[in-house]
Amino acid sequence: MISEAHNPRNMMRTAIVFVIFGSAAAFAAGQHARNVILFIGDAGGIPTLNAASLYAYDAPQKLFIQSLPNLALVDTSSANSWVTDSAAGMSAIVTGQKTNNGVISQSADAVRGEKDGEWLKTILEYAEDHGLSTGVLSNMNITDATPAACYAHSNDRKSSAEIFAQITRPRFGDGVDLVIGAGRDEILTATLKTSLEMEKALAEKGYAFAPSMEAVPANANRAVVLYESGEFEAWPVVNRAIDILSRNDNGFFLMVEWDMHTTQLERGLKRAVEMDSVIRETAAKMNSDTLLLFVADHSFDLRLRGGRQHHSLLPDPAAPSAKPVIRVENGHTGEEVLAAAMGPGAERVRGFIPNTELFHVMMSAFGWTAGGARTAPAATASMR
């Protein structure tokens, strides 16, 4: 006798209901992120965030980042070192695979400066493939490791001209739409030594080429903006970039990197506070269909060793021999960094996770699977 539950017809009905419900849930409006904005605090580890809050607000945990609802602690080790550089760190976040220090979005069999590895498809390339608009924005050199890992592939992060040239040779869609950052003189000098006629190549690909965001024509949907330095005001530039990318009904992916290295302590802390304000403004601007994800690519050797309220964290020029409240060694460190998120898909940002997991957080937020094969993200999500 066949029990009710095992009756083939009932099982079939269950299966049909599951399929209909499953796909309806998967495509229901609001279920997935329409846009993803990835904020990278370069070298913005937990000690730096803590110090930035104390510096700006004279109290702990006052940053907007520190109010985000979903948090994880992220391992940043690279394939060949416990302590990553920005190249391997960012490659892991945007491709889901760890690679060697110095390598830009290639697999770990790449040898820096010598041998290519497999070119790994980045979240930005997936977005292009799906017809979204894409952008990278940084107050560092736009061919530097972090932005480069989104749109280029190289066995050596120092190959600035080659990295820049890849903007005009996209593998998916029409390639990254907005490239905004510093390093104008360096990039122009490096490019002059190659055969690439940059301005012509960019014009052919439909880019406005400008020295500042203000100089980009109002109707431009694609632009390469090279500032001379990273000392531009963040929010107006981020705001305009979002407005341009938002013209695409399919949505967009934007990566915003802000330098938080505290080699110069006050400058680093100011920039951490600045990026925090940008994330706050972005959260106020965007609808609930946008995943906002903040993470550092690696931590930095900054330690809070004392101090109290109403007293400066910075060294006192009048007392140069006094023990500093904050001790900074100029180097990356290998402890976990904070990832913090809000919006669709943010619930997967929890626990101790490797940096590669953030790629899958973004992919599943969009409702995509890597290469059509990986099903683990959905399974992981339901387990949680």
Q: Helix, strand, or coil here: 251? A: coil
Nearest to Zn ion of 151, 366 (CB atom): 151
Per the rule left: phi > 0, alpha: psi between -120 and 50, beta: everything else, 28 is beta
- The least CB distance from residue 263 to Zn ion, in Å, is 12
For Zn ion, which is the closer residue by CB, 42 or 336? 42
Rounded to whole angstroms, what are the CA distances from 48 to 57, 303, 333? 14, 8, 12
Considering only 80-88, 193-201, 212-220, 355-363, which stretch makes contact with Zn ion by CB under 5 A?
Answer: 80-88
Amino acid in the structure at residue 283: A
Among 42, 128, 162, 276, which residue sits at the site for Zn ion (rule: CB under 5 A)? 42
Which range binds Zn ion by CB under 5 A, 112-120, 297-305, 322-330, 346-354? 297-305
**CB 150, min distance to Zn ion, A:** 14
CB of 78 to Zn ion, least distance (A): 11
Q: How far apart are CA 154 and CA 109, in angstroms?
A: 12
Comparing CB distances to Zn ion, the nearer of 48 and 191 is 48
- Tell me if residue 196 falls in helix, strand or coil: coil
Structure tokens at 117: 């590895």
Provide, rounded to whole angstroms, the least separation between the CB of residue 118 and Zn ion. 23
Compute how many residues bind Zn ion; rule: CB under 5 A. 3
Residue 138 interacting with Zn ion (CB under 5 A): no
Cβ atoms within 10 A of the Cβ of 7, count?
12
Least distance from C-beta 262 to Zn ion, angstroms? Answer: 12
Which of 53, 78, 86, 100 contacts Zn ion by CB under 5 A?
Answer: 86
Q: Out of 177, 297, 336, 357, name the contact with Zn ion by CB under 5 A.
A: 297
Stretch that binds Zn ion, among 37-45, 92-100, 174-182, 247-255 (CB under 5 A): 37-45
Of 296, 231, 227, 251, the residue nearest 84 (C-alpha): 296
Sole residue written with tokens 């949907």: 221
Q: Nearest approach, Cβ of 185 to Zn ion (angstroms)?
A: 22
| Closer residue to Zn ion in complex, CB, 86/141 | 86
User: Toward Zn ion, which CB reaches closer, 42 or 276?
Assistant: 42
Under rule CB under 5 A, which residues in 302-361 are in contact with Zn ion?
Answer: none
For the chain, strand residue ranges (E) read 35-42, 70-75, 133-141, 178-182, 208-210, 223-226, 252-259, 290-296, 299-304, 326-333, 337-342, 351-354
- Please give the Cα distance from 96 to 149 (Å, whole number): 12
Q: Which residue is nearest to Zn ion (CB)?
A: 86
Distance of CA 114 to the CA centre of its chain: 27
Q: Which residue, 186 or 297, has its beta carbon nearer to Zn ion?
A: 297
Task: Specify the residue, 44 or 173, whose C-beta has the smaller distance to Zn ion.
Answer: 44
Q: What is the DSSP letter of 121?
A: P
Residue with the two structure tokens 């993803």: 36
Nearer Cβ to Zn ion, position 123 or 346?
Answer: 123
Residues engaged in binding Zn ion (CB under 5 A):
42, 86, 297
